[in-house]
């Protein structure tokens, strides 16, 4: 797909469709439970190795459970991204009118856009990795266009869960120690 067409689709996404993943999505709930379980399972072990509760919570979400949290976030972002791209109506866009290109180039661009949107209609988000799965025959450059790289931003719900888990682990450890 041409860089111009990709840019136009990206612009339309940013300007037009601002959909997010459905928070009631069963897979989001499943991936959230996996990340929460990682936090709860590892909190006591991490707490024992850190004197600062804040550092322990940060280590828990940034390193120990980063994969589980990242998969959930990638799934949410890629689901929203596919939904937003699918909402683009190329017929309603007048971007081609503003380009100084030949009629043949305009026709090729229109066909490439049509092919790209047809591939998008068949693409899906892998429920276990969060990655976009493309139909056979999609050029590799197209899949790179929509590839979403995970963010280092840890969602507040996981930071809060990690903080609570580490705090509870510290309290439990202190209660179990004999008084001096």
Residue 71 lies in a domain: yes
pTM over 0.75: no
State the Cα–Cα distance between residues 39 and 41, nearest whole angstrom: 6
Domain that holds residue 139: 23-176
Give the phi and the psi of residue 69 in degrees, each rounded to 5: -70, -45
The reply to whether 10 falls in a domain is: no
Given this model, what pLDDT does residue 8 score? 36
Assigned domain for 9 exists: no
Alpha-carbon Rg of the chain, whole angstroms? 22
Q: Within a domain: residue 8? A: no
Examine residue 15 and state whether it is found in any structural domain, yes or no: no
Length of the chain as a residue count: 180
In a domain, 112, yes or no: yes
**Per-residue confidence of the chain (180 residues) as pLDDT tens digits?**
433 333 333 333 333 333 345 656 899 999 999 999 999 999 999 998 889 999 999 999 998 999 899 999 989 988 988 888 778 766 655 666 667 788 888 888 878 877 877 888 888 899 999 888 888 877 666 655 555 455 557 777 888 888 888 889 888 988 888 776
| Total count of domains within the chain | 1
What are the Cα distances from residue 71, in Å, to 3, 67, 169, 174?
29, 6, 26, 34
- State the DSSP string of 93-158: --GGGGS---HHHHHHHHHHHHHHHHHHHH-EE-TTT-PEEPPTT--HHHHHHH--PPPSPPPHHH
Residue 100, domain member (yes or no): yes
In a domain, 128, yes or no: yes
Measure Cα distances from 12 to 17, 106, 124 in Å.
7, 18, 20
């Amino acid at each position: 797909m041409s860089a111009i067409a990709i840019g136009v689709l990206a612009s339309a996404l940013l300007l037009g469709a601002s959909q997010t993943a459905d928070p009631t999505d069963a897979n989001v709930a499943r991936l959230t439970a996996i990340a929460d379980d990682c936090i709860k399972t590892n909190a006591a072990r991490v707490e024992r190795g850190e004197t600062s509760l804040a550092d322990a919570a940060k280590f828990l979400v940034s390193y120990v459970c980063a994969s589980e949290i990242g998969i959930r976030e990638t799934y949410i972002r890629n689901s929203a991204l596919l939904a937003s791209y699918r909402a683009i109506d190329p017929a309603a866009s007048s971007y081609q009118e503003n380009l100084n290109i030949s009629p043949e180039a305009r026709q090729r661009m229109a066909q490439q856009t049509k092919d790209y949107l047809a591939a998008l209609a068949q693409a899906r988000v892998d429920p276990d990795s969060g990655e976009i799965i493309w139909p056979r025959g999609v050029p590799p450059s197209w899949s790179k266009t929509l590839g979403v790289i995970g963010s280092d931003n840890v969602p507040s719900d996981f930071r809060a869960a990690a903080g609570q888990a580490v705090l509870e682990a510290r309290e439990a450890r202190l209660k179990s120690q004999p008084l001096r």
